[in-house]
Amino acid sequence: MNTQTHYKGDKSLYFYSEIWGLNSYEFDIVKRVSRCRFKGQFESDLRKSIDVLDIYEKEYSNMTFVENNYNNLSDNFIKEKELNTYEIEIINRIIRCRFDSNYFIEDLRKIKMSILKYLEDCENIITIAGKLNLNSYENKTK
């Protein structure tokens, strides 16, 4: 498949989103979080994810959800998309947020806080080329 460089892995995000039963809000956030380091729009993508979370929370009361039996990201997805620990945590929360409607709004807020922490922790870890070097950062923090 001949695609842009920020499309990672053998299978697309569309493929995984269908398997996980994600709605449009959730797909948009997963897409932005999993590509933000590779597309060159790190801060913009994460800030847009926060905007989508705000919209999702506001419009939540009018929604019905399809039950999803998915628990966690697969190792294959993590490897294909070259996700770091921040991205894994955020995407896992998005996939699971609908399981308990009593905690849905709280979960959306936790996702937002995770994205803000990702932005904060990474704001000074930018290479000369202007791209984030999170892999070396993660190795130093382990």
- Give the CA angle between residues 107, 57, 8 to the nearest 5°: 70
Confidence of residue 36 (pLDDT cuts 50, 70, 90): confident
Which residue pairs, CB below 8 angstroms and at least 24 apart, start in 85-90?
Answer: 85/138, 86/114, 86/117, 86/118, 86/121, 86/122, 86/134, 87/33, 87/34, 87/36, 87/37, 87/118, 89/114, 90/29, 90/33, 90/49, 90/114, 90/115, 90/118
Q: How confident is the model at residue 138 (pLDDT cuts 50, 70, 90)?
A: very low
Evaluate if residue 107 carries a pLDDT over 80: yes
Q: Which residue ranges make up each domain of the chain?
A: 13-141
Helix axis angle for 13-20 and 24-39, nearest 10°, is 150
Q: Is the pTM of this model over 0.95?
A: no
